[in-house]
Each structure stands twice: as C-alpha cells, then as structure tokens.
Structure 1
C-alpha cells in the first residue's frame, strides 16, 4: 500500500503540469489576480520599492523552480506560482509607469505585443496552445511565459481604464466583467475555439480582479472603499488557501494523462 501511494506521486509519461479547467479554477484565478494586485501595492508601500521588487522577483523565481521541479500538477505548487506571478507581474507593470514614466496605454500595447510573440512562438514550435498538451518542460515554459505576459498586460490595461480613462475602479471592473462574458458566449453558442475562449477569458480575469482589489483597498479619496491593501490581500490569501486545500485533498482538477484538445 505504501509503495502504491508513493508511486502515485511520481511523474509519469504524459503527466499534465496544469489543472483541469473547472469553476473552482476560475474562482481561484480571480482571487489570485486580486491578491497579486493588493499584495504588490502593499509591499511597495511598506518596504523600499527596490527591495519590494527584488523580494517579488525572488518569490516568483522560487515558486517557478518548485513548479518545474515537481514536473506534474500539484495544486499548492501550481497556485503558489500563479500568486507569485500575479504579485511580481503587477510590480513589473507598475515599474514601467511609476519608475520610467511610460503611459499605461503604451505599456498595455507593449505587453500585448509580448503576449502575441509568446503565443506565436509557442504555436509555431508546439503546433498548439492547448493547456491539455502541457506535459513537457518546454511547453510548460511557454505556458508560464504567457501567464506572466497576461498578468503584466492585464495590470496595465486595468490601470489604463481606471486612471487614464478615469472610469474608476468599480466602473472598470464592470467593463471587464461584461467583456469576460464574451468568450463564454462565443464558446457556448458561436462555436469559438476552446483555446481562444480560454485565453481570452484568462487575460480578462487580470484587469477584472485587479480593479476589484483596488476598489476595495484604496482610500475613498482615490475612489476606493478604504479597507487597505494589506487586509484585502490577507483575506484573499485565506480564501485561496481554503480552496487550494480543497483541491489538494480531492484532486478533482487533476487532468488525466493523454487528454488533448483540438488546435
């Protein structure tokens, strides 16, 4: 029995490195984007900005090392990597605007081009962008490069609508909430590609979650509710821990080996 249990945790040929897409996946993804925004904003205010960015990069690097070392999907490792990508991705986007003075519109376009380049290279190399095909280190590297680009672009895009267009946090959230319905409609009734629908929705979860987090955490004078970035990040972190713990125990989101999606 002990031998059988130990073998179940070993990497096998065809083992998937990312989870099955379920309702819980989208809930945790939304929470992680919001937490990344709040945690990043909190850290750069309580620590020297350079130190905060270095710590964010260190956490991001360690999380990815752990994820790649496991070579299979493990709930806590995968979602730790997502949370750290969200935190460091926010910092990366903010550095361009705050540190270098790049307007949000330009940084949004820059990260969109970077994301298109990742997708183009990934598609040309692996012949598919399906998350159900991620069973090698190279494919996983493309996946995480795309995730980083989506977080950075989504952060800049959310700040662009909230600050540059002056819609405010909650109005921005409403815009992105309306837009995120489009891939669901396209996939369900218009025969959109499942891969297109997934990545469309994945990109939009970032500005949606970030706008909500900013709306909750920022002071009333800045258009928020004033709960504070730290408390918001803490509450979101607890919710993520509960849901990831549930997935770790039940493994209801583990992909079976050998599954593929159409290109």
Structure 2
C-alpha cells in the first residue's frame, strides 16, 4: 500500500491558494530572519550565509531522505532557502560590490541554467514530477537560486529603482495578479506560470520584510526583526494546522 502511494504522490505539496499564502509568508520570514542574524546580531552577511547554508543542506538532506511528503519538513526547507537566499544576495550585492543589477543578472542566468539542465536531464521541470532524489536535488537547487534572485530583485526595485518598499510590493503584487489571471483565463503552459509565480513571490516577500523592519526614515515600520520573524513563524504553523496540505499527485514525465 505504502509503495503504491510513493509512486503516486510527489514530495511537494499540492499547489493551492494555501500554498501561495504560506510561500509569501515564508519568503517574508526569510528576509526578516536573514536580516536578524546578519544585521541585528551583527554577524555579517558572510557568516550569516555560512550558517543558513548549513541549515539549508541539513534540511534538504532530511527532505530527500524522507519517504513521503511532510508539510513541516517541506516548509522548513523552503524557509531555509529564503534565509540563505537573503544573506547570500546581500553578500554578493553589498560585500562583493556586484550591485543589485549585477547580482540579479548573474542569479537570473544561474536560475535559467538550473532549469535548462534539469529539463535536459529529466525531461520536465514540473513540480508534479518531483518524487525521486534526483528530481528533488534539481528542485531544491532551482528554488535556492530563485529565492536568491528574488532577494536581489526586491532590493533593486525598492532601493535602486527608487520605488520604495510599498511601491515594490505593489509592482510585484500586480505581476503576481497577472500570472494568476493568465492561469485562470489562458492556456499558457502551467509549469511556466508556476515558476513565474514562485519566483515573483520572493521579491514580494523581500520588500514586505524590509517594509516591516526597516527604520521609519527609510520608509519602513521599524518593527523588531525578531518579533516580526516570530509572528511569521506562528502564522505559517497556523496555516499548516488549519489547512492541512496534501502531497501533489505525480504525473510522471
């Protein structure tokens, strides 16, 4: 019975409205949590990246080793990708001096390369095929690149483009609404739309996270990064408990 379930179900959750709500909360947590360690605790972007990269590797290994989908483990791994994405993007943009434009461009090409190699090796980049260790490794590497890219895009939009955190949130919110409308009213490729939405939720979370914890003089609400992170963790746990998630059904290749 269990073997049949393993063949039918994927290791990722069914993509529903709850999935996207938790995803946005997780990406916002990635921003506030990453900044709490690198900035509030004054450990710096490099040390923060090393810490979160270690957490990310442990979480991915646990996720790959698991036989079935476990919502808390899955979302813990997503949060790990968002936190390491935050500190890694900040390290590249600020410490290495690449800048938001350079960092976003580099990460965009890395993301496209990851998707291209995944598709060439396994024949599909659909989340409905993520049920084996090899597929999961491609999935999590791609997600890590998308989360890091999203951080760079969010900071670039809010800071360099001069739109501010509220303006950035509106821009990415509108883009997500366009993707949602395309999903509902067009026949555009569902896999393409999923990855477009998945990528766009990260910069949305980045600018919302910055809006919550940045000083009033910088256009933020000056909330504590630790309290904001704790609130988001409680929200994510509540969503998982109140709206139980099921594993997505595998469609094979």
TM-score (norm 1): 0.90
The CA distance in 2 between the partners of 1:69 and 1:155, in whole Å, is: 28
Q: What residue in structure 1 maps to residue 84 of structure 2?
A: 88
1:177-192 to structure 2, matched below 5 A, reads: 177-192=173-188
- Structure 1 stretch displaced more, 206-215 or 67-76: 67-76
Unaligned runs of 5+ in 1: 1-6
Confirm or deny that 1:40 pairs with 2:34.
Answer: yes
Unaligned 5+ segments in structure 2 are none
User: Retained in 1: the 8 A contact 2:28–2:205?
Assistant: yes
Pick which of 14-23 and 89-98 moved more.
Answer: 14-23
TM-score for both structures, normalised by structure 2? 0.93
Cα RMSD of the aligned pairs, angstroms, is: 1.9
The 5 A counterparts of 1:59-98 are: 59-98=55-94
Do the aligned partners of 1:38 and 1:213 also contact (CA within 8 Å) in 2? yes
Corresponding residue for 2:127?
Answer: 131
In structure 2, the partner of 1:244 is: 240
2:113 maps to what in 1? 117
Equivalent position of 1:215 in the other structure: 211
CA contact (8 A) 2:100 2:153 kept: yes
Task: Indicate how the Cα distance of structure 1 residues 240 and 9 shifts in structure 2: closer, same or farther if over 3 A, else same.
Answer: farther
Match of residue 260 from structure 1:
251
- Distance in 2, matches of 1:57 and 1:167, equals 30
- In 2, are the aligned partners of 1:71 and 1:137 still within 8 Å (CA)? no
Cα distance, 1:52 vs structure 2: 2.6
Counting matched residue pairs gives 251
| Deviation of 1:14 (Å) | 4.3
Are 1:173 and 2:169 an aligned pair? Answer: yes
* Distance in 1 separating the partners of 2:198 and 2:47: 29
Q: 1:206 to 1:13 in 2, by over 3 A?
A: same
1:168-187: CA deviation from partner (whole Å, max 9, x where unpaired): 11110000000111211222
Paired residue for 1:52?
A: 48
1-structure distance, mates of 2:88, 2:4:
35
Cα 1:196/1:237, change in 2 over 3 Å:
same
* Contact 1:36-1:83 within 8 A present in 2 as well: yes
Counterpart contact for 1:218–1:226, Cα < 8 Å: yes
